[in-house]
Structure 1
Amino acid sequence: MHHLSRADARRLAVRAQLLAAPRPTDLFDVVRHLTAVQNDPAAHVARSADLVLWGRLGNGYDPADLRDALDEQALLELHGMIHVPADLALYRAEMAQWPGEHDHRGLAVWVEANTGCRLDILARLRADGPLTAAELPDTCVVSWRSSGWSDNRNVGRMLGALVHRGEVAAAGWRGRERLWDLADRIYPDEVVPLEEARRIRAERRLRALGIMRGTDAGDPAVVEGVRGQWRVDPVILDQKFRGGTVLLSPLDGLVYDRKRMADLFEFDYQLEMFKPAAKRRWGYWALPILHGDRLIGKLDAAAEHREGELRVTAIHEDTPFPKPVRAAVHREIQALATWLHLEPVLP
């Protein structure tokens, strides 16, 4: 049993997420280590995946490299998460058992009722893929019914199910339209057996987070002042820590689990893009500010490309920043603006 202070646990988490020195230098190494990077389309400052990668790689990272890697299938997307191709072997056995333990029975029944449409889509992709959803046939005999937002969007819903089944895969983009193709043309041939795949995924997830709950991987640990038992990656327990200042995406792996974030970092934060403007405390897409092993505030900013500006509405300081910290945060804002080819405009 490892006994950690909160500071020990925070430093473990920051190191594991590649947010401490030395800075990594390779896009593919970062994605491989993090196991997955969420490819959310929101781009109030920049797309979340680009912010995550910029936070690790710095201004040498070019978002075009990620777009090219996805188009060339050097990186692959599964359920909105970007992976290195070899890692898809860890999901194929689970796909083969779909719906398995997941709550997809209603969708599975709908897919079965529309077997003809499923086969028509697969045949069209086999003959002419990769194709966009608009280029695929809707021959469903039973329309998809939902709470309203996806009613009658049969092809999109069928494609989602075929991705779950491991029959179809995202194959890059044509402009703003996603391309789809047969999974067998894109995924690795290797299929890791289900239980082994789950074990490997759990171990790698822990290595990417450093410390977490809800897994059997790693070693047991307790964190002073925090209830319950944790699991830690022992490989990085004794590594030295040298932190920096980083502006994080709201979907960054360091803060994505809000309960873990609150327990370890004692940081109050929510993504407020879905709140009415009058009820927002920190901003539409406020970026958490990491300094060393602490989350110290939020940056409310927006990229105004037409005006050529990174417009900063507010820098929310959880506690007043000392002058050296304020200077470090301003340098990071300047670095973000430079990376975006914008001029920073501060209040």
Structure 2
Amino acid sequence: METLTKEQGRAAAVRAQQLDGEQRDDLLAVVSALTHLPVNVTDIVAPSAEHIAYTRLGESISFDDVRRAAEVELSLFEHLDQPIPTEPLNILLRPVSDLPLLRGEMEAWAETHPRTAAWVEANAGFRDDVLETLRMDGPVPQPDIEDTATVPFRSSGWNTSRNVAMMLEALQGSGDVAVAERRGAVRVWDLASRILPEVEALGREEASAELDRRRLVSLGLARPKWVGDAGREVRVEGTRGLWRLAPDAELGPVAPRVSVLSPLDRLLLPRTRMRDLWGFDYALEQYTPAAKRRWGAFALPVLHGADLVGKVDARSDREAGLLRVAALHWDVEADAALRGGVAEELERFAAWLGLGLRLP
């Protein structure tokens, strides 16, 4: 069996994630290659979808291009994804062209989410009220949709009694409703039939195999848990267990380009892969008490070539028109060239956000 070095594994991952030295210029092609952009509208620095698009496309796109693709051009759409049943749901922007691959899982939503489906059926009147509201008045902002639930949603987490949100997400998962736009953090909903094209679903086995294949191509190297039997089996020096390698993965050295990543960048997920391949000590500390944070509420990992070399503690101060950097935390001995490269990239990123840059 082939055995890769960690350096080769990192190179495969970085190239697959479109983070090598080549700058791209086609948003839809990038999203297709990545399979999706994660949606998190937290604006401590920048929303995740826009930030991730920028790190691949740079100044060839504007900040508004991602939302325009989803809300005006309708080439992207918001999709709820759960690649592994035990994992939480993810909100993703995916190409509309992927609908035939995803329609089958939408049709099987109740089967794969029986607890939520039972709650929806217990609130059949509420479900019908929501659909009728959208049919008559859509698109409708989520806060304007009346909660007529007779059985409140129960959860071990923060979703307890968030009846409107949970009903809409269940209906989104089954393909009945869709997000028409976002106004800040507020989702505006409509019937999916008004937003998404009618397509014929691929068979579930065929679709599942193709999604696994695309997921592996977008990751370069992954554990079988995430990609099934896609690619070929390999080992990676210094790690336990087996991996799957994308068929066309390139393993040679990566050009020493600097990228300042979103905390939700796919290169960093799953975190277990990040630790296995890079040994990178990192966690999103947004919900960590301030006194216990090591790197900042929304620290941005720094990629140099195929190496994760540090974190930037930054915050967008839109009132002052500045991207404020409180600290740079280095995981390597950073020479002048690396420090200068990070400063230049932060300056470019700040300008793209319409901000000036304030370094410590």
TM-score under structure 2 length normalisation = 0.90
Deviation at 1:238, TM superposition (A): 5.6
Q: Is 1:196 matched up with 2:206?
A: yes
Deviations 1:121-180 (A, max 9, x none): 223323332222344344333233445844443222211111122211112235653222
| 2:268 and 2:274 in contact (8 A); partners too | yes
Alpha-carbon distance in 1 for matches of 2:155, 2:8: 46
Alpha-carbon distance in 1 for matches of 2:146, 2:343: 52
Alpha-carbon distance in 2 for matches of 1:87, 1:129: 25
Deviation at 1:247, TM superposition (A): 0.2
SS of the aligned residue for 2:111 comes to coil
Alpha-carbon distance in 1 for matches of 2:47, 2:349: 13
Q: Which residue of 1 aligns with 2:336?
A: 323
SS of the aligned residue for 1:235 comes to coil
Deviation at 1:337, TM superposition (A): 1.9
Q: Which residue of 2 aligns with 1:74?
A: 75
Alpha-carbon distance in 2 for matches of 1:167, 1:124: 13
Instruction: Report percent identity of matched pairs.
Output: 44
Larger mean CA deviation between 29-38 and 68-77 belongs to 68-77
Larger mean CA deviation between 271-280 and 146-155 belongs to 146-155
SS of the aligned residue for 2:248 comes to helix
Q: Which residue of 1 aligns with 2:88?
A: none
Q: Which residue of 2 aligns with 1:171?
A: 180
TM-score under structure 1 length normalisation = 0.93
Deviation at 1:256, TM superposition (A): 2.1
Deviation at 1:36, TM superposition (A): 1.0
Q: Is 1:216 matched up with 2:226?
A: no
Deviation at 1:266, TM superposition (A): 1.6
Q: Which residue of 2 aligns with 1:32?
A: 32
Deviations 1:190-237 (A, max 9, x none): 211111111111000001100000221011111112111110112133
| 1:117 and 1:138 in contact (8 A); partners too | yes
Alpha-carbon distance in 2 for matches of 1:275, 1:137: 34
Give 1:258's match in structure 2, choosing from 241, 247, 271. Answer: 271
- Structure 2: runs of 5+ lacking an equivalent: 81-90
Q: Is 1:307 matched up with 2:320?
A: yes
Larger mean CA deviation between 124-133 and 262-271 belongs to 124-133
SS of the aligned residue for 1:216 comes to coil
| 2:11 and 2:251 in contact (8 A); partners too | no
Larger mean CA deviation between 248-257 and 171-180 belongs to 171-180
SS of the aligned residue for 1:254 comes to helix
- Structure 1: runs of 5+ lacking an equivalent: none
Deviations 1:10-37 (A, max 9, x none): 0000000000021111111111111111
Deviation at 1:96, TM superposition (A): 1.3
Q: Which residue of 2 aligns with 1:295?
A: 308
Q: Which residue of 2 aligns with 1:155?
A: 164
Alpha-carbon distance in 2 for matches of 1:87, 1:116: 32
Alpha-carbon distance in 2 for matches of 1:149, 1:234: 41
Q: Is 1:117 matched up with 2:126?
A: yes
Change (3 A) 1:175 1:22: closer
Alpha-carbon distance in 1 for matches of 2:53, 2:158: 32
Q: How large is the RMSD of aligned CA atoms in angstroms?
A: 1.9
Alpha-carbon distance in 1 for matches of 2:302, 2:157: 38
